[in-house]
């Protein structure tokens, strides 16, 4: 038994708690440990929903000892939901992976960062060498070769990431993708809100919601459409409660009587996948009925400037492509024609919403809400077969009543961000660059490729390297496709997994790189959240083990691929950014060439560069304390040149960790409607062929004529299956599994109506088997009047190999559709058809 190394060495320094009582007795040192010096660090939550609630973290001796809401944050008002509160469990989970690992056969062994990064970069270098060696490419620069890449070559490197990383990490990922011509891949936002964002871009150019959630206080009529904020975003939910307390009427439309719906003034159950039809029904009423259903509600601008047909014209008027006002009129006429078929009786047959309620809803929007009508567009609207058109129709209702550009109006969605490409944070985030859609009839996408499409490419042998983050196998809508693809890549390609935790995806990887958790990484948020600001967040605690920040990992890979010792080569490849030449919204900080030092100096270097350039581009000076919050004058100056509707800091706001008073830069404020040169335009005719008809597509849910609410038990698939989001799902999605959250809030069970359960002989707590055309799972049932007898609700994303007992295997992801919205390819994972039976 021989030692060849020493584990402890003498030190003169006395650190940690002992330092506070240097030279004191052992007992007093231990007393000091028991009562440590606590430092409160300002932070913001970066978990899942994108609201970035203000958060204070108490740190003692480098450890988290307490977490609480930041009371001065004007959005979160001192509140944190369970996701924000359990950040300790996230950072200190015993399921963290703390060291790089490499696969050896069916096993893994711990390795060094140098070993891992060197091997990964070597693979990328060989792809690069092979491209350069092809005939006709001799002597060309990488940039020139990039322009010649075939579609198949662009698929060789696939980078999945999660949007909850710091902006600086995303910058590096984006640039490395660019260097290989790789398509960006969806983050989680696409799966839950991709149809919403596309719909909004198609109408008004903004990628996300138009009004901040604090603005809900000014709303008169709030429609919570297929979202369950009371559970999933309770911090934002408080603003709905406040609005209701102030007299606003809250209406919930959902396939399931969610906790939010149960708190609403009016709950409207709806048949899955038919929200677009209901929206067109409302438009039909607004175009054709008046009070009480006896005549036209809509008047001209001459009679009612707040609620006018011309308000919709105003939205489309600036577009030169469609011929100014005449063109706009034509587009609105198309909309009217599209809505013509959706009279209330037809809508009732399609949606199960009684015709009288369709009329009542439209009437109340027009008379109670008017411009102060706010729509909260939940994930259930977006993650459905008709997501794109349903969201377009819904948002056009707001246009009809003039609720865009109005305080208390507008649309709200999952994302905490406002998609203003002029914000300096956009400069760090590749998502804002114009790409064009991933396919011809998806012009409102940002070029991101659906992961399910990449699965097909993988099986065709086109993908050589996958960088995966988050637990794709259990969190993406199509678990089957990902399992098959990852199994293929395990044998024929290279999988690099970058993550915090053990999960099913990691188990396929050849290399596993430990990622720093949220509080262990410094940087700015890629989008503006509750502060409406480009917000820098210091590292709150040191990284545990050998975990590293996203930015660091990608920077190190980049250096190794593009000649670590040659700043010129690195600069050319990673500091050069190809953007569309007609992308006119590129201020200076988004220009192609960034100095090499910008990257060399780490996350803060990028942030400082972007910030400085952003200010310079706006003609201002760099403020001395720029790191929290835009100043009033800056935001106002932008408002003058196009307009933003966003609460902003008061003029006296000096910066700091807390945001600002709610205030609008103009009164009432105008949203920024982008011009047509970015393909973001209302073009009702071309993309309206389904017109919100419940386009219940393909094999999983094709029953457009099955409008009866009765169950035909002789059918193979007699029931609808819906799904929803859970806290555990949100956490797992973002590469940050947090078992503590699941333990606290989750009860995984199938919701089934008691009448249906009785027919099947099921009682509360029974184990049942749900089968869809894609597979079967077993899960306990919970009898609930919250769901229609013809609908069962199966929770998603709680399966895979999550480390929490009871969360293995069953998940809606094994049952849901292969197919997505026909325009966007976004999977309609929140709906399907199924049968259910008791497990003996």
Partner 1 sequence: MSSGAVTTGSPSASFTLLGEAYEWLGQAFLREPDGDEVRAFLDGQADLPDLLAGSNRRVVAAQEMLAEVRRDFSGRGPEQAELDLAALYARLFVGPHRERVSPYESVHVPDETDAEAPDSGPLLMGPSVPIMRALYAVAGVEPVNPRNLPEDHIGLELAFAGWLLSEEGRSHEDGAELLRLVVGDHLARWVPSFAQQIEEMAPRSYYAAIAQMALGLIEFHAGTL
Cβ–Cβ < 8 Å for 448, 185: yes
In the complex with partner 1, the residue whose CB is nearer, 298 or 466, is: 466
Kindly tell me which residue out of 339, 376, 397, 509 binds partner 1, with binding defined by CB under 8 A.
509
Q: Does 91 bind partner 1 (CB under 8 A)?
A: yes
Query: Which single residue is written with the structure tokens 């550009």?
Result: 405
In the complex with partner 1, the residue whose CB is nearer, 509 or 721, is: 509
Cβ–Cβ < 8 Å for 163, 188: yes
In the complex with partner 1, the residue whose CB is nearer, 33 or 149, is: 33
How near is the Cβ of 11 to partner 1 at its closest, in Å? 4
Q: Point out which span in 101-109, 420-428, 523-531, 666-674 binds partner 1 (CB under 8 A).
A: 101-109
Q: Which residues pair with 831 in a beta bridge?
A: 722
Q: What residues numbered 478-497 form the site for partner 1, per CB under 8 A?
A: 497
How near is the Cβ of 93 to partner 1 at its closest, in Å? 7
Q: Point out which span in 55-63, 310-318, 420-428, 478-486 binds partner 1 (CB under 8 A).
A: 55-63
Helix (H, G, I), strand (E, B) or coil at 819: coil
How near is the Cβ of 21 to partner 1 at its closest, in Å? 9
In the complex with partner 1, the residue whose CB is nearer, 48 or 802, is: 802
Q: Does 641 bind partner 1 (CB under 8 A)?
A: no
Query: Which single residue is written with the structure tokens 């480009």?
Result: 534
d(CA 616, CA 481): 47
From the CB of residue 196, how many other CB atoms can be counted at a distance below 10 Å?
31
Q: Does 63 bind partner 1 (CB under 8 A)?
A: yes
Kindly tell me which residue out of 132, 298, 645, 740 binds partner 1, with binding defined by CB under 8 A.
740
How near is the Cβ of 576 to partner 1 at its closest, in Å? 35
Cβ–Cβ < 8 Å for 597, 605: yes
Put the strands of the sheet holding 511-514 in their side by side order: 107-110, 101-104, 511-514, 494-499, 465-469, 157-159
Encoded one letter per residue, x for contact with partner 1 by CB under 8 A and - for no contact, window 528-567 reads --------------xxxxx---------------------
- For residue 531, give both structure tokens: 């502060």
- For residue 131, give both structure tokens: 């491209």
In the complex with partner 1, the residue whose CB is nearer, 74 or 96, is: 96
Q: Point out which span in 29-37, 456-464, 605-613, 682-690 binds partner 1 (CB under 8 A).
A: 29-37
Q: Does 41 bind partner 1 (CB under 8 A)?
A: no
Phi, psi angle pair for 7, to nearest 5°:
-95, -25
d(CA 9, CA 29): 20
Q: Point out which span in 68-76, 343-351, 504-512, 584-592 binds partner 1 (CB under 8 A).
A: 504-512
Q: Does 109 bind partner 1 (CB under 8 A)?
A: yes
Q: Does 64 bind partner 1 (CB under 8 A)?
A: yes
Q: Does 296 bind partner 1 (CB under 8 A)?
A: no
d(CA 104, CA 7): 28
In the complex with partner 1, the residue whose CB is nearer, 109 or 763, is: 109
Half-sphere exposure of 357 (CA within 13 A, CB side): 17
**End-to-end alpha carbon distance in the chain:** 57
How near is the Cβ of 84 to partner 1 at its closest, in Å? 15
Burial class of 250 by CB neighbour count within 10 A (0 to 12, 13 to 18, 19+): buried
In the complex with partner 1, the residue whose CB is nearer, 193 or 516, is: 516
Kindly tell me which residue out of 448, 507, 518, 825 binds partner 1, with binding defined by CB under 8 A.
507
In the complex with partner 1, the residue whose CB is nearer, 405 or 499, is: 499
d(CA 101, CA 497): 10
Q: What residues numbered 413-452 form the site for partner 1, per CB under 8 A?
A: none
Q: What residues numbered 688-727 form the site for partner 1, per CB under 8 A?
A: none
Closest Cα to residue 230, out of 196, 205, 200, 264?
Answer: 264
d(CA 417, CA 84): 17
In the complex with partner 1, the residue whose CB is nearer, 10 or 129, is: 10
Q: Does 569 bind partner 1 (CB under 8 A)?
A: no
How near is the Cβ of 805 to partner 1 at its closest, in Å? 10
Q: Does 736 bind partner 1 (CB under 8 A)?
A: no
Kindly tell me which residue out of 49, 53, 87, 97 binds partner 1, with binding defined by CB under 8 A.
97
Q: Where are the beta strands (DSSP E) in 474-570?
A: 494-499, 511-514, 523-524, 536-537
Kindly tell me which residue out of 6, 247, 292, 652 binds partner 1, with binding defined by CB under 8 A.
6
Cβ neighbours of residue 522 closer than 8 Å, sequence gap 6 or more: 166, 536, 537, 538, 539, 549, 603, 604
Helix (H, G, I), strand (E, B) or coil at 562: coil
d(CA 495, CA 476): 17
In the complex with partner 1, the residue whose CB is nearer, 308 or 802, is: 802
Q: Which residues pair with 60 in a beta bridge?
A: 38, 63
Burial class of 596 by CB neighbour count within 10 A (0 to 12, 13 to 18, 19+): middle
Cβ–Cβ < 8 Å for 770, 721: yes
Q: Does 38 bind partner 1 (CB under 8 A)?
A: no
Q: Does 101 bind partner 1 (CB under 8 A)?
A: yes
Q: Does 312 bind partner 1 (CB under 8 A)?
A: no
Q: Does 133 bind partner 1 (CB under 8 A)?
A: no
Q: Does 59 bind partner 1 (CB under 8 A)?
A: no
Q: Does 119 bind partner 1 (CB under 8 A)?
A: no
Q: Which residues pair with 102 in a beta bridge?
A: 109, 511
Pairing of strands 221-225, 38-44: unpaired
Q: What residues numbered 784-813 form the site for partner 1, per CB under 8 A?
A: 801-803
Give one DSSP letter per residue of 668-718, joined into a string.
S-------GGGT----TTTT-SSTT-----HHHH--TT---SS--TTSSS-
Q: Point out which span in 94-102, 142-150, 368-376, 618-626 binds partner 1 (CB under 8 A).
A: 94-102
Cβ–Cβ < 8 Å for 497, 189: no
How near is the Cβ of 810 to partner 1 at its closest, in Å? 16
Q: Does 612 bind partner 1 (CB under 8 A)?
A: no
Q: What residues numbered 8-27 form the site for partner 1, per CB under 8 A?
A: 8-19, 26
Q: Does 67 bind partner 1 (CB under 8 A)?
A: no
Pairing of strands 249-254, 266-269: parallel
Q: Does 500 bind partner 1 (CB under 8 A)?
A: no
Give one DSSP letter per residue of 722-745, joined into a string.
E----HHHHHHHTT---HHHHHHH
Kindly tell me which residue out of 5, 295, 581, 686 binds partner 1, with binding defined by CB under 8 A.
5
d(CA 254, CA 268): 7
Burial class of 766 by CB neighbour count within 10 A (0 to 12, 13 to 18, 19+): middle
In the complex with partner 1, the residue whose CB is nearer, 107 or 621, is: 107
How near is the Cβ of 725 to partner 1 at its closest, in Å? 23
Kindly tell me which residue out of 40, 71, 104, 305 binds partner 1, with binding defined by CB under 8 A.
104
252 membership: H or E segment, kind and range: strand 249-254
Cβ neighbours of residue 664 closer than 8 Å, sequence gap 6 or more: 407, 645, 646, 647, 648
Kindly tell me which residue out of 41, 95, 317, 663 binds partner 1, with binding defined by CB under 8 A.
95
Q: Does 293 bind partner 1 (CB under 8 A)?
A: no
Q: Point out which span in 40-48, 59-67, 478-486, 608-616 binds partner 1 (CB under 8 A).
A: 59-67
Q: Point out which span in 6-14, 145-153, 346-354, 590-598 binds partner 1 (CB under 8 A).
A: 6-14
Q: How many residues bind partner 1 (CB under 8 A)?
A: 66
**Footprint of partner 1 on this chain (CB under 8 A)?**
1-19, 26, 29-30, 32-34, 36, 60-61, 63-64, 88-89, 91-99, 101, 104, 107-110, 497, 502-503, 506-507, 509, 512, 542-546, 739-740, 743-744, 801-803
């Amino acid at each position: 038994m021989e030692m060849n190394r020493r584990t402890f060495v003498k030190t003169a320094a006395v650190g940690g708690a002992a330092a506070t009582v240097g030279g004191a007795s052992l007992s007093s040192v231990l007393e000091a440990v028991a009562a440590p010096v606590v430092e409160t660090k300002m932070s913001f939550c970066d978990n899942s929903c994108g609201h970035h609630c203000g958060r204070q973290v108490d740190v003692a001796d480098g450890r988290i000892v307490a977490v609480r809401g930041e009371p001065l944050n004007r959005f979160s008002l001192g509140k944190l939901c369970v996701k924000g509160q359990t950040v300790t469990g996230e950072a200190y989970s015993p399921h963290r992976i703390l060291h790089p690992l490499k696969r050896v056969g069916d096993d893994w062994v711990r390795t060094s960062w140098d070993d891992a990064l060197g091997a990964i970069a070597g693979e990328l270098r060989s792809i690069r060498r092979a491209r350069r060696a092809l005939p006709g490419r001799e002597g060309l620069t990488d940039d020139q070769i990039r322009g010649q890449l075939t579609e198949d070559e662009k698929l060789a490197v696939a980078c999945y990431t999660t949007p909850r990383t710091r902006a600086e990490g995303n910058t590096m990922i984006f640039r490395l993708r660019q260097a290989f011509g790789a398509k960006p891949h969806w983050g989680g936002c696409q799966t839950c809100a991709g149809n919403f964002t596309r719909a909004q871009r198609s109408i008004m150019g903004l990628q996300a919601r138009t009004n901040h959630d604090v603005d809900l206080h000014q709303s008169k009529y709030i429609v919570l459409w297929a979202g369950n904020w009371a559970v999933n975003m309770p911090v934002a939910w408080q603003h709905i409660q406040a609005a209701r307390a102030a007299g606003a009427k809250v209406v919930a439309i959902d396939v399931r009587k969610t906790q939010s719906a149960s708190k609403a003034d009016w709950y409207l159950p709806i048949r899955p996948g038919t929200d677009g039809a209901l929206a067109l029904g409302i438009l039909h009423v607004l175009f054709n009925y008046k009070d009480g259903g006896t005549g036209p509600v809509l008047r001209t601008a001459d009679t009612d400037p707040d609620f006018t047909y011309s308000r919709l014209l105003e939205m489309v008027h600036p577009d030169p492509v469609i011929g100014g006002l005449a063109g706009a009129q034509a587009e609105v006429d198309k909309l009217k024609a599209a809505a013509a078929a959706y009279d209330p009786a037809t809508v009732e047959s399609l949606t199960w919403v009684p015709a009288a309620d369709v009329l009542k809803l439209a009437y109340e929007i027009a008379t109670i809400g008017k411009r102060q009508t706010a729509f909260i567009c939940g994930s259930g609207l977006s993650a459905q077969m008709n997501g794109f058109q349903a969201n377009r129709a819904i948002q056009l209702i707001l246009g009809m009543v003039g609720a865009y550009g109005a305080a208390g109006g507008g649309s709200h969605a999952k994302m905490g961000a406002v998609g203003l490409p002029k914000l300096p944070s956009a400069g760090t985030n590749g998502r804002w660059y114009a790409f064009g859609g991933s396919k011809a009839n998806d012009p409102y996408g940002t070029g991101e490729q659906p992961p399910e499409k990449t699965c097909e490419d993988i099986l065709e042998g086109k993908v050589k390297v996958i960088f995966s983050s988050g637990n794709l196998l259990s969190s993406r809508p199509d678990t089957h496709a990902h399992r098959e693809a990852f199994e293929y890549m395990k044998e024929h390609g290279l999988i690099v997994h970058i993550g915090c935790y053990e999960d099913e995806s990691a188990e396929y990887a050849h290399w596993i790189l430990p990622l720093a958790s949220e509080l262990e990484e410094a940087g700015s948020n890629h989008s503006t959240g509750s502060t409406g600001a480009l917000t820098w967040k210091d590292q709150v605690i040191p990284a545990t083990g050998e975990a590293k920040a996203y930015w660091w990992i990608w920077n190190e890979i980049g250096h190794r691929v593009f000649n670590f010792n040659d700043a010129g080569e690195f600069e050319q490849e990673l500091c050069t950014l190809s953007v569309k030449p007609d992308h006119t919204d590129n201020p200076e900080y988004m220009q192609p060439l960034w100095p090499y030092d910008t990257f060399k100096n780490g996350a803060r270097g990028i942030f400082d560069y972007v910030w400085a350039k952003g200010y310079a581009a706006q003609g201002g000076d760099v403020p001395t304390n720029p790191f929290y919050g835009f100043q009033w004058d800056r935001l106002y100056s932008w408002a003058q040149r196009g307009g933003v509707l966003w609460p902003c800091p008061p003029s006296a706001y000096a910066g700091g960790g807390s945001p600002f008073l709610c205030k609008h830069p103009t009164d009432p404020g105008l949203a920024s409607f982008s011009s047509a040169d970015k393909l973001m335009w209302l073009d009702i005719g071309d993309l309206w062929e389904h017109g919100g008809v419940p386009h219940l597509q393909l094999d999983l849910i094709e029953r457009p004529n099955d409008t009866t609410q009765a169950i035909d038990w002789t059918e193979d698939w007699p029931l609808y299956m819906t799904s929803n989001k859970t806290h555990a799902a949100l956490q797992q999605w973002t590469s940050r599994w947090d078992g503590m959250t699941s333990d606290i809030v989750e009860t995984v069970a199938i919701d089934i109506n008691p009448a249906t359960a009785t027919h099947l002989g099921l009682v509360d707590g029974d184990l049942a088997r749900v089968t869809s055309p894609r597979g079967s799972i077993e899960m306990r049932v919970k009898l609930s009047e919250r769901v229609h007898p013809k609908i069962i609700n199966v929770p998603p994303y709680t399966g895979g190999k999550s480390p929490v007992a009871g969360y293995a295997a069953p998940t809606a992801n094994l049952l849901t559709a292969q197919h997505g919205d026909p325009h966007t390819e976004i999977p309609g994972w929140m709906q399907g058809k199924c049968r259910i039976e008791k497990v003996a």
